[in-house]
Amino acid sequence: MTGRFRRFIDESELQELSLKGRLFTWSSERDVPTLERLDHIFATEEWLLSFPDHDLSAISTECPDHAPLLLKTDCVLPHFKRFRFENIWPKYDGFMQVVEEAWNAPLPWPNADAFRALDYKLRATAGPLRVGVISMSVQ
């Protein structure tokens, strides 16, 4: 059976994804444990090109002898400066309008998770405020 499976992997030109942060996914939980990598993930070249920023890691569970795998396909987040609210901003004319427009603007990613959506909205708010503060007049 092992030979047929290996031949299938080779003929299909599948590549094994690298597991980050752990060498093994199973332990016998004995004083001198047997450690094995039972779980593997394979992908085609086309899949690898479609998801170049993937990440495969083992996650913790209540079952101490086994570590299931978690495959993330979109791991690169743009690295920007941290959002910093300026106390002077609410004193400028048009502050609320800038906030409303940025906060109500549609997300560029239709299925964004809550943290990415919040990050986007904070940046969309801070950018126009930073740029427009000089031209705004104080109330």
Residue 68 structural domain: 2-72
Per-residue pLDDT reduced to its tens digit, 87-114: 888 888 888 888 898 889 888 877 778 8
Boundary (domain end) residue, out of 20, 43, 72: 72
- Residues 24, 29: Cα–Cα separation, whole Å: 13
Number of domains in the chain: 2
| Three-state secondary structure call for residue 39 | coil
Last residue of a domain, one of 72, 99, 121: 72
Burial class, 13, CB count within 10 angstroms (exposed 0-12 / middle 13-18 / buried 19+): exposed
Residues 135 and 83 grouped into a single domain: yes
Last-in-domain residue among 20, 52, 72? 72
Q: Do 44 and 87 have their domain in common?
A: no
Rounded distance between C-alpha atoms, residue 107 and residue 117, angstroms: 7
Contact 36, 25 (CB under 8 A): yes
Task: Looking at the structure, tell me whether residues 48 and 81 fall in a common domain.
Answer: no
pTM of the model: 0.47
